[in-house]
Structure 1
Amino acid sequence: MADDHTHVQEFFTARAADWDTRFPDDGPAYAAAVTALGLRPGDAVLDAGCGTGRALPYLRDAVGPGGAVLGADLTPAMLEAAVHAGRHRGAQLLIADVARLPVADGALDAVFAAGLIAHLPRPGENLRELARAVKPGGLLALFHPIGRAALAARQGRQITPEDLRAEPNLRPLLAGSGWRMTSYTDESDRFLVLAVRGD
C-alpha cells in the first residue's frame, strides 16, 4: 500500500502547480456532472480524490448552506492548490486515503469522484469503502471531463478490452462493491457513470 501511495503522491505532487492551467476549460463539464448527480439541499457529499478542488464550488452550490462538502485527497500539494484557488471555502479538506475514509458508516449522501478510478490500487475494495461511507440509496458519480477514447489519445495509448472504465468491466465491479450502476456515458467530451448504493 505504501508503494501505491508513494507513486500516486509523486505523480500528483509533480503536477499540482500547473494542473488547472493544463485543463482550463473543464469547469462547465464539472458543473454538468455535479448537476447530473442529483444532490439535494442539505446533503453531505464527498469529493473523493478532489485534487485542486475543481468540483468543490459546484458541490457546495448544490447542497446549499445546510449541506456539508468534504474534499479528500492523498496529495497535500493538490489540497494546497485548492486553497490557493479559493475553492476550499465552504468545504472541509482532508488529507485522506479513499481506501480508509475518516467518516462514519453511512455518513454521506453522495460521493463525487473525478478521475479517481484509474488511480485506485484495489478498485473493488476501494469502491466498497466508498459504499461503506454512503447511506443506502446514496449516490456515486465517477467522472472525467473527456471520454475514454479522448483520454487515451491524450496519453498516447490505445483503449484495451481490459480498461476498467469499459461498461462491461465497470458494471460488475460496481455491483460487487455495493453499487448499482444507473447510467453510463462515454462521449468525447464526458465520461460519467452514476450509481446508487444498495441496501
Structure 2
Amino acid sequence: MIYTKDYFENMAQKWDEIVKHNKDKIEAILDMIGIKEGSCVLDVGCGTGVLVEYLQKRTGQKGKIFCVDISEKMIEIAKSKYKNFSNVTFINDDVNNLKFKDYFDFIICYSVFPHFEDKRKTLLHLTSMLKKGGYLAIAHSQSRKAINDLHKNLAYPINTHLLPGINYFKLLSSKKLAILKSVDDSDKYVVIFKKI
C-alpha cells in the first residue's frame, strides 16, 4: 500500500517542474494573513520550500521561519535551495510530532490541509503551538472545487484527500480559535483563525 509520505517522496525530484504556484496569488494570500517583521512562523507541509522566499521577505532577518514536511526528499531539496537563509530551520517530521507549545506567531498550511489524516486532531495540535493572539492560516491558491477535482484524478491515496468546505471550520471554531476571515472563490481558498 502506498502512503502519503511515499507519494511525496516519489514526487520530490520532479515537484518543482510539475507544480506551479502563482506568485501574485501567494502574495495576496500572505497579505491577508498579515505576517509582520520579526515574526516567528511555522510553514507546515513546506514541500520544496515554495513559501520560504515570500516569508523571508515579510519576517526579515529578525524573524524565525520553521519549515516542516513529512517527506525527507522534499526537505532535502528545500534545504539545498535555501541554505543561505540563516533564520530558516527545516524539520523532516510529521507536524503532529512537533513539541512546540505557545511558540509561533503564525502557522501556515499552504496547499497541505487535505493531506492530514485526522484533520481535527491536527488542527488542535497546531492551535497548541500558537501563541495567544497568534494566527493560523489554511490556504490554497485555487478554489476548493479545483483542488478536489485535481486530487480525485491522482493516484491513491491522494485521490481520497479532499479539502473540506468553510462550514467544516466554522463547526471546529472553539473558545480558543476564532475564524477571522474565510474565502472560497474561483481564485483561492483561505481560512484565517486567531488564537484567543
What's the TM-score, normalizing by structure 2?
0.86
- Which residue among 4, 9, 16 is the counterpart of 2:5? 9
Aligned to 1:101: 98
Equivalent pairs, count: 187
Residue ranges of structure 1 left out of the alignment (5+ in a row) = 158-162
- After TM superposition, the structure 1 stretch with the greater mean CA deviation from structure 2, 93-102 or 27-36, is 27-36
| Percent of aligned pairs with the same amino acid | 24
Q: Deviations over 1:99-152 (max 9, x none)?
A: 12132x111111011122211111111111111111111001101111111223
Deviation at 1:87, TM superposition (A): 7.2
Q: Quick one: which amino acid aligns to residue 100 of structure 1?
A: N
Deviation at 1:177, TM superposition (A): 8.6
What's the TM-score, normalizing by structure 1?
0.85
- 1:125-144 matched pairs, under 5 angstroms: 125-144=121-140
CA distance in 2, matches of 1:152, 1:126: 20
CA distance in 2, matches of 1:21, 1:60: 23
- 1:17-96 matched pairs, under 5 angstroms: 17-86=13-82, 89=85, 90-96=87-93
Please state whether the residue corresponding to 1:54 is helix, strand or coil. Answer: coil
Aligned to 1:160: none
- After TM superposition, the structure 1 stretch with the greater mean CA deviation from structure 2, 43-52 or 76-85, is 76-85
Contact kept? 1:108, 1:135, Cα under 8 Å: yes
RMSD (Å) for aligned C-alpha atoms = 2.1
Contact kept? 2:139, 2:190, Cα under 8 Å: yes
Residue ranges of structure 2 left out of the alignment (5+ in a row) = 154-161
